[in-house]
Amino acid sequence: MSFLSISDVSVSFGVEDKKVEILNNINLDVAENEFVAIIGFSGSGKSTLISLLAGLQLPSYGEVALEGKPIVQPSPELGIMFQNYSLLPWLSVFENIELAVKKVFPSLTSIQRKTHIGKYIEMVNLTPAIDKKPSELSGGMRQRASLARTLSMEPKILLLDEPLSALDALTRSSIQDEILNIWEKEKRTVVMITNDVDEAVLMADRIVPLTIGPNASFGNDFNIPLKRPRNRTSLNSSPEYKKLKKEITKFMLNMNSENIKLNKKSISLPAVFEKSINEIGQEALIA
């Protein structure tokens, strides 16, 4: 039996004739300590999927189960990290995490709690901003605080809902590295939703594409057999990495063109050409 399983799950809204199928009969098994990335276009039902995993929403049909037990309500075991941080704005970073830790580990003494919180704030490199309010933090710092809060609950499974989509490219890559580092140190099952192929290939063990919704389902998965620990700079020149990226991008683009053929809703994409690292470097220099 797999650690996390999604079996025959469908989600639909509305009644009878106005029924909209968001997810249609999807199946997925995630092994313990596996890092799975689910990749899809926007509007393909990714957020619905993560809500199912977090127990914030229940499937219309089928079952989502963790260690064989069905997920029916949210709990600190299902550590979800929201797309828009969800920090409570009237609490400082420390207090935000404290609220979670107090609830999840009620037996800790105040000193133990303090060290526990401090450990996770240190882990995301946020110690200097420990007493700041979210409004005083940058987007990247807020997301780190959110990550620290989720990690501090020591969840069985980490659910990342497009955690980095609201960040600028530089912050994004540094937090990607951080998450990767933390994951490699403290192995944990991770399901990450993303729309970024680079991000998925860099971080995940396995990539599951989600077809274009409504009526979305999973395509064939891609295993990412790249060695760990992964390093952004060395990977960029690795032919295997390039090949995987190319394959997945091609698959996603094909999916879109199939959609056009099937007269389904399509998503117009800008023309994308592959650039060599040298070219990118030169552009960066010019900029």
* CB of 74 or CB of 281, closer to other proteins: 74
Query: Where do we find the tokens 């990714």?
Result: 46
Shortest reach from residue 18's CB to other proteins, in Å: 24
**Which parts of 38-57 interact with other proteins (CB under 8 A)?**
54, 56
**Contacting residue, 49, 80, 145, 255, with other proteins by CB under 8 A:** 80
Segment interacting with other proteins (CB under 8 A) among 63-71, 87-95, 166-174, 233-241: 87-95
Q: From 267, 261, 222, 228, select the one nearest 245 (Cα to Cα).
A: 222
Considering only residues 114, 132, 133, 264, which one is a binding residue for other proteins as defined by CB under 8 A?
Answer: 133
Q: Does 100 bind other proteins (CB under 8 A)?
A: yes
Single residue of 88, 262, 269, 280 touching other proteins by CB under 8 A: 88
**H or E element: which one contains 35?**
strand 35-40
Estimate to the nearest angstrom the gap between the alpha carbon of 116 and the chain centroid. Answer: 24
165 makes contact with other proteins (CB under 8 A): no
Contacts of 18 (CB under 8 A, 6+ apart): none
Alpha carbon distance 82, 73 (integer Å): 17
CB of 132 to other proteins, least distance (A): 12
The size of the interface with other proteins (CB under 8 A), counted in residues, is 24
Secondary structure of residue 7 in the 3-state scheme:
strand
86 by DSSP, 3-state: which?
coil
User: What is the DSSP annotation of 129-192?
Assistant: GTT--GGGS-HHHHHHHHHHHHHHT--SEEEEESTTTTS-HHHHHHHHHHHHHHHHHS--EEEE
Residue 120 touching other proteins (CB under 8 A): no
Amino acid at 1: M
Q: Is 138 among the residues that bind other proteins (CB under 8 A)?
A: no
- Indicate whether 82 belongs to the interface with other proteins (CB under 8 A): yes
Residue 86 vs 259, nearer CB to other proteins: 86
Q: Rule CB under 8 A: which residues touch other proteins?
A: 54, 56, 73-76, 78-80, 82, 84-86, 88-91, 99-100, 103-104, 133, 135, 153
